[in-house]
Structure formats: C-alpha cells, structure tokens
Amino acid sequence: MSEFVFSSTVALERELDGSDEGFHRYFYALYNCSPDQDNAINQNRQRLQEEYPDKAVAVGKYFVLWGEAAAKALRSYYSELAANESLDDDFRGYANGRLQAIERRHLTSQGLSVPIDLSEGQLSKDDYLDFYTCIALSNGQVVVKATK
C-alpha cells in the first residue's frame, strides 16, 4: 500500500537540505524540468543570478532566487506558457492566471512599509492547487496503480 503525500512549493523549499534530490524535486515542481537541463529556463535563472547576486541563495550546487530576481524568473516562465499556442487553451489560461497571481504577490510583498523579498517557491505557491490536491488525496481520488 502506498502513502500519498502532497508538498506545496513552499514545503518543498523548506525541506531543501543541499541535496541534489531535494533540489530536483523542488525545481521540477516550479519549472517542470531538471535544473541540469540546458534550456531557456535555466539560462534565464543563471543570468538572473549574475544580475542579482544578492538575491540568489546557494543550496548545495544550486540556488534559489528571491525578490525581483525570483519574480522575473517566474514571470518569464509563465509568460512563455501562456503564449505557447501549442498548449491547450485551458492550460494557457491557467498559466496566465498563475502569472497574474505571482505578479500580485510580488507587488504586495514589495509594497509593504518594509518590503519583503519572497522566494521562487513562495511566489509560485498555488493555493487552489494545494487545496484541491489535498481534497482529492483525502477523498481517495488520487491512486497509483502498480505496473509490471
């Protein structure tokens, strides 16, 4: 029997311990790819790390972006998804909604009397995904079937 556990991006980020495995799980939850792939996402994050060295926190051989650097990385990712015409309209709409939510969260955190820099995991946290996934898990609607 399997045990299902859901971890939000914030929970995955809190669990980062410098291990490659932990960072890979976290990164995949954010960007749906490996941090070791040679792609536009990783190239953009590397550029942002260089542009904002004080907004990149080392985690083992990787890093987590904060503040404006995190917001720019996530904006770029979700903008590309929302504009990608090869994706289903519903998914593109979801990506556009995530883009707007990330922007609101970043602007709110920066508009406080003492601005707060949020991380990539904090900015990308999807409250609806968290809620509905937990409901589906508790209702037994998510199952894993063993394959041979």
Mind giving me the DSSP string for the chain?
A: --------HHHHHHT--S-HHHHHHHHHHHHSS-TTS-SHHHHHHHHHHHH-GGGEEEETTEEEEBHHHHHHHHHHHHHHHHH-TTS-HHHHHHHHHHHHHHHHHHHHHHSSSS----BHHHHH--HHHHHHHHHHHHTT--------
Give the count of domains, the chain. 1
2 within domain boundaries: no
Q: Is residue 145 part of a domain?
A: no
Residue 143 resides in a domain:
no
Residue pLDDT tens, the chain, 148 long:
456 677 888 888 889 999 999 999 999 999 999 999 999 999 999 999 999 999 999 999 999 999 999 999 999 999 999 999 999 999 999 999 999 999 999 999 999 999 999 999 999 988 888 788 878 877 878 776 666 6
* Residue at 56 is within a domain: yes
In a domain, 102, yes or no: yes
In a domain, 70, yes or no: yes
Range of the domain at 115: 9-138
- Residue 146 domain-assigned (yes or no): no
pTM, whole model, 2 decimals?
0.85
**Do the domain assignments include residue 23?**
yes
